[in-house]
């Protein structure tokens, strides 16, 4: 990091708290406010999301670290630090009603059948979660859907973990740039079907979607390698032609 870049960031002693003031775009099943930080005017270049799965809290920490480096008034693109705060508070992948929010979207391939996942560090994909009583049955889904429709982002970057890749079936320039910056492979898919996912819904809405899967590394390593790139996405320091 050069001197001019360091000079433009929040001084290190002041990075312990989040100074950006959020707006509330909805509430969770248990009434937890859903917060978005940054400008909220259509049309937005990039909307950045973390922790749609509550057991992927490293995505929130890394994104928060990036945001706490940025002075107030210097955000170009909005940020949601936790799509699923109830799940994050409980350490569960699902929300408070046992629904996988990334399978609850009103897509052409939504299914009422339960979904199964492995859990962190496990081999067998046998832990069962619901997809909701109907598409968009969950308040977290409906609230985020309304936010996306309000902001009209050209691209949504959704942070997940721990598959260590950048997913974009169309390999757009922004996805290529992110993958190069963080030295992760750019892949067309994550290798399995995701009915009712936010990514599928975004594609059906004509929104570019990049799924950024953090690797299974320590938080210090993730912050060191990924937070600087997230800062650039938040402040607009990416190639203009990439979006």
Using the CB atoms, write b or e for 102-124: b if 16+ within 10 Å.
bbbbbbeebeeeebebeeeeeee
Residues with a known catalytic role: 213
Q: Strand order in 79-80's β-sheet?
A: 22-27, 33-37, 79-80, 46-49, 155-160, 208-215, 163-167, 186-187
Query: How many residues appear in the chain?
Result: 243
d(CA 38, CA 124): 40
Q: What SS3 class is residue 142?
A: helix
- Residue 16's DSSP bridge partners are none
């Amino acid at each position: 990091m050069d001197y001019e870049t360091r000079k433009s960031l929040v001084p290190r002693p002041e990075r312990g708290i989040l100074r950006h003031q959020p707006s509330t775009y909805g509430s969770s099943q248990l009434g937890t406010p859903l917060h978005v930080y940054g400008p909220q005017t259509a049309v937005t270049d990039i909307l950045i999301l973390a922790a749609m799965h509550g057991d992927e809290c490293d995505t929130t920490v890394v994104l928060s670290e990036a945001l706490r480096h940025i002075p107030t008034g210097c955000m170009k693109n909005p940020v949601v630090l936790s799509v699923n705060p109830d799940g994050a508070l409980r350490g569960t992948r699902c929300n408070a009603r046992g629904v996988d929010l990334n399978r609850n979207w009103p897509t052409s391939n939504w299914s009422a059948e339960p979904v199964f996942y492995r859990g962190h560090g496990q081999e067998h994909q046998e832990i069962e979660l619901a997809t909701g009583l109907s598409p968009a049955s969950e308040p977290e889904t409906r609230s985020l859907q309304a936010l996306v429709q309000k902001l009209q982002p050209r691209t949504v970057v959704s942070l997940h973990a721990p598959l260590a890749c950048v997913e974009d079936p169309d390999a757009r320039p922004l996805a290529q740039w992110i993958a190069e910056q963080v030295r992760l492979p750019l892949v067309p898919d994550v290798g399995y079907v995701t009915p009712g996912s936010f990514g599928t819904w975004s594609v059906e809405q004509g929104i570019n979607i990049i799924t950024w899967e953090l690797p299974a590394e320590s938080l210090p390593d993730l912050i060191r390698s990924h937070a600087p790139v997230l800062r650039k996405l938040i402040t607009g320091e990416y190639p203009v032609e990439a979006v």
